[in-house]
Structure 1
Amino acid sequence: MTTEQQTTEQQGPFRSYPWPLERLRDALRCIRLKRVKIRGPAQFSHGSSISFAKGADVRSPHSVELGHHISFGKNFTCEVDVRVGSHVLVSSNVSFVGRDHPFDDPAVTVYEAARLDDTVIEIGSDVLIGFGTIVVGPAKIGDGCIVGAGSVVVGDLPPSTICVGVPAKPVRQRYPDIMR
């Protein structure tokens, strides 16, 4: 294994900085995580190595469950309950929202209707969600799935696929040479 591979393996998805800046970056990550936990729901559980970039806004009504080694990019927004596996990258400007405004009663305006808050978004392990993606729950993104930038997820996405578009649909297998 080369020195570059070892450094990448230790760093994960993050850039390498001189050690004083590394300590500062680690401290900022810790502060951001605590900020999200304080403002977030009462049931907030997480594993190790969780990172929220600037502008994270987590307003889940009931619970957030995060595995290990997860990174959320700048301006991440979450307004639903969420369960995330391990080894997940969520790019910048990604939103998790729900179908939470009933609009089927003509006697009640959308503004006056009571908000529904039972939406859950489930993200598997080894997942990448691209820049600017909107996930409208309820939805489940399978293990090993890659969601392309700018996609809108409105339903379940199968494991080990690359999905893109509005609405997001599988375009190919992530590992085409592996027999299933």
Structure 2
Amino acid sequence: MSETTRHRTPVYRATDHIVAPPGADAYTRPAFSLSNRAARLVWGIVWLLLYRTSPRPFHAWRSLLLRLFGAKLGTKCHFYPGSKVWAPWNLHCADQVTTADGVEIYNPALIECGSHVIFSQGSYICGATHDYNDPAFPLLAYRMSFGAYAWICARACVAPGVQVSEGSVLGLASVATRDLEPWTVYAGVPAKAVKQRERFLHGGDAA
């Protein structure tokens, strides 16, 4: 478990759900149930054959495929064919969320996105880590949220359990290891606040 997530509470701990056979190597046992792995196998095949190969303008088609696997998406979401969602059933998005080519959303636990959230090319959202101080090395998954109009720029990474507030910007190739404050621009590794972003939402506008 990394220092940045030590204070956070995981919503899923593998050792609470998967019991290793006596004498089994904890590092090689599965972290998820057989049904979970089967669902991801089917989704992986659908992603490879129907999602990844679809023409770039077919956003409605890819949204449909995600919804068929349990994703909850608002209107006019743009998921580009080179983007990956690890578990669609753990993704809830409001209207007009965009994930560019090369984006990977690793979401063993629920990830929620407000309206107009943008994940630019090659950005990586990491929803889980491991407790390296436990001999069983269990996977720990964290619920995460991205506020309306947040922007994760190209090649940027968000660490497990980090909460991204409304209007936050994570700059090019930066790594967020702590929660991002509203309407603030962050840059660097680890990311630090560098300036304020002008607020253009007021009151309930984000809804």
Alignment TM-score, normalising by the size of structure 2: 0.63
The Cα shift of 1:170 comes to 0.8
- Residue 33 of structure 1 aligns with an amino acid whose one-letter code is S
Task: Verify: 1:147 aligned to 2:177, yes or no.
Answer: no
- Larger proportion of strand: 1
Q: Spell out structure 1 runs of 4+ moving beyond 4 A.
A: none
Alpha-carbon distance between aligned partners in 2 of 1:51 and 1:121, rounded to the nearest angstrom: 20
The Cα shift of 1:62 comes to 5.6
Task: Verify: 1:129 aligned to 2:156, yes or no.
Answer: no
The Cα shift of 1:168 comes to 1.1
- Residue 124 of structure 1 aligns with an amino acid whose one-letter code is G
Aligned positions of 1:1-180 closer than 5 A: 26=57, 28-38=58-68, 42=70, 44-60=71-87, 63-80=90-107, 81-105=110-134, 107-108=135-136, 113-117=137-141, 119-175=142-198
The Cα shift of 1:61 comes to 8.1
Q: Sequence identity of aligned pairs in percent?
A: 24
Indicate the structure whose relative CO is greater, using CA pairs within 8 Å and at least 6 residues apart. 2
Q: Deviations over 1:87-109 (max 9, x none)?
A: 1221011111134212103x44x
Alpha-carbon distance between aligned partners in 2 of 1:103 and 1:62, rounded to the nearest angstrom: 28
How many correspondences in the alignment? 143
Query: Unmatched 5+ residue regions in structure 2?
Result: 1-54, 200-207
Query: Unmatched 5+ residue regions in structure 1?
Result: 1-23
RMSD: 2.1
Alpha-carbon distance between aligned partners in 1 of 2:67 and 2:173, rounded to the nearest angstrom: 27
